[in-house]
Structure 1
């Protein structure tokens, strides 16, 4: 399971990463208290061990056993976490993601494709494409007659792209970001491939969804992206997206209630800050108000031809597209080892991670078999 040794942990502490109103929120997560991953609920600032109700987060959500009274109170959150390892808040859920859900990200994907993954060529492609399209994508409803007219105009100008198809066509891009149990949480290292020369974080809101397709909460996520790989070919999406430690999530899932609803997700403003060891600083933002497809529609599309008996999480996409130069003019942004990535929202908290190459990040060794053996040894599996 993902674990960050004491000497490698970031200076950020959990008390700086919680939602502003965390004592009034219901937070779902996982801790390793020394014997293995434990699903917890935080309510009124108190941690509740939920293994008496369910041994995994997936079962807890699937059975609706999210009443803290069904668990065992362990004490105040900050006291409990001081003696435990905070893990990614999800376990057996499939990790899904929606791509190209914002106009700006759609244009950036077209630029990647036209530049063939070459960051040096991207500036020229961006200039030519924006001159042709302007901001027309922002107001287009995917699948509408207006979208069809725009598609034909772009075809006529030889500017159509497979990315624009999923940006304004009827079908959203839904892909698998990572296997169950592979995500990392707050304070963990995040990985980019050592053979990638053009990559970036993607700050996103992530929905937690039941097997029946009902969104029950939201968290912050980082859908780490390799722009050079996907830009060379969309068929390299798997290598661009699914890599060791490339899926960050947390610090907790905030469950929906009277104080926090899907409308808060629709209204969320996500901020990003990258601090490099070279002194480089990049600030960005992503506004969910500008998403082109409603979150509930993306959930529906994820379920259109599949079942998820353990539920799933769904990254909703990002408005953020880094074009601020880091080294050479015109080459835009790419990560360097040691970058500190902070993704924030007042209602969801702060997700903080440090960038390494995938081969240097902690290897993913705690899979489904290991989890089952651990739960069995702890006497948590029942017929």
Structure 2
């Protein structure tokens, strides 16, 4: 989606870092202008999403123009000038949660990772064996259904049952904490790989913006950076595999639900992925929400309820169909990132999220946490 497409489309909101105030602005797209709608009523994105109708509020909001949309979207991954006004992750005080193993194809890849114990050299042989047994029989299977229970029994008999199949077709979804509050990076920023990882990949996903009442207020794009070898060694290393410096990218904007965009658009969304390496390697991938095995609202209800509250709301990654198996260097070892890769995740209704891949130890350290945000807003007399 180009800047002109954003200008013609629905209600887009985000956050911009303003060096003049040494803090974030809450902004809305108005034509080709980015307007500052930060106020005592909505000092944060959290406060905006807590409103009964945030899209209606944004439609009436006024504020100064702080940049053009074209200028912000012209920022290049790998050349982002953080000393200038620039887009940052659109979420702020929300918890960042993620659901895993929500698509049949990626579920099979998780089984392979587990059985290969994080070794990509073993993955090809295991993939052939597991696919021969499982095939595409899980593709149209509804998670938690009686049919899924029968498949589970059959797989146990075949000796290929896995904890990943349990959360993939069982009654309970996998929901984990992806990133700390305020640690997500945004459009054109670097994303980080933990330096211990040698087998990893991007995960293009739609991310729901959910308020404290469990109401989905909009959606955006996300890259749930994945360390296949780390998680493959043990599912107990999920935290180390998923939550590292700059390992969560969200943006460029949240598209609020209104008359032009709804949860049904999310259900029918197709995502495109491109990875461009400094070595000339190019990878194209896709993920379709039409093939998800759990409805988005089911994933939301499994995350929030009487069993778990989120007073500031949460962002929810919903998983991906994409699981790269294309060889990059050595035959049979599949895809893995290289430092300098440019990753672009796009959707026709949400825009494009672009980032450069670095090591987490080389990305800018995360220093602006909740305490600094509160002090900054207080100094600006917004709270």
CA distance 1:79–1:89, shift in 2 (3 Å): same
* Structure 1 residue aligned with 2:79: none
1:240 is paired with a residue whose SS is helix
Contact 1:19 1:345 in 2 (8 A): no
* Structure 2 residue aligned with 1:331: 333
* Structure 1 residue aligned with 2:44: 56
* Structure 2 residue aligned with 1:74: 65
* Structure 2 residue aligned with 1:365: 367
- Residues 326-377 of structure 1 deviation map (CA, whole Å, 9 limit, x = unaligned): 1100000000000000101111111000000000000000000110111111
Deviation beyond 3 Å, 4+ runs, structure 1: 16-22, 43-46, 79-83
Stretches of structure 1 that go unaligned for 5 or more consecutive residues are 1-15
CA distance 1:122–1:255, shift in 2 (3 Å): same
2:13 to 12, 18, 28: 28
User: Per-residue deviation at 1:257?
Assistant: 1.0
Contact 2:205 2:222 in 1 (8 A): yes
1:106 is paired with a residue whose SS is helix
* Structure 2 residue aligned with 1:351: 353
Work out the CA distance in 2 between the residues paired with 1:17 and 1:334. 29
- Residues 33-71 of structure 1 deviation map (CA, whole Å, 9 limit, x = unaligned): 321101112234443322223111111111345423234
1:137 is paired with a residue whose SS is coil
* Structure 1 residue aligned with 2:30: 43
Work out the CA distance in 1 between the residues paired with 2:91 and 2:334. 33
Work out the CA distance in 2 between the residues paired with 1:157 and 1:24. 51
* Structure 2 residue aligned with 1:107: 108
* Structure 1 residue aligned with 2:264: 263
1:277 is paired with a residue whose SS is coil
Work out the CA distance in 2 between the residues paired with 1:39 and 1:145. 46
Work out the CA distance in 2 between the residues paired with 1:207 and 1:152. 33
* Structure 1 residue aligned with 2:342: 340
1:236 is paired with a residue whose SS is helix
- Residues 312-338 of structure 1 deviation map (CA, whole Å, 9 limit, x = unaligned): 000010000000001100000000000
Work out the CA distance in 1 between the residues paired with 2:71 and 2:324. 38
Contact 2:194 2:359 in 1 (8 A): yes
User: Per-residue deviation at 1:19?
Assistant: 7.9
Aligned length: 366
CA distance 1:259–1:298, shift in 2 (3 Å): same
1:72 is paired with a residue whose SS is coil
Farther-moved stretch of structure 1 (78-87 vs 276-285) = 78-87
1:351 is paired with a residue whose SS is strand
Q: TM-score, normalised by structure 1?
A: 0.92
Work out the CA distance in 2 between the residues paired with 1:218 and 1:335. 27
User: Per-residue deviation at 1:259?
Assistant: 1.0
Contact 1:46 1:73 in 2 (8 A): no
Does 2:122 match 1:121?
yes
2:130 is paired with a residue whose SS is helix
Contact 1:116 1:233 in 2 (8 A): yes
Matches within 5 A, 1:282-293: 282-293=283-294
Work out the CA distance in 2 between the residues paired with 1:70 and 1:311. 22
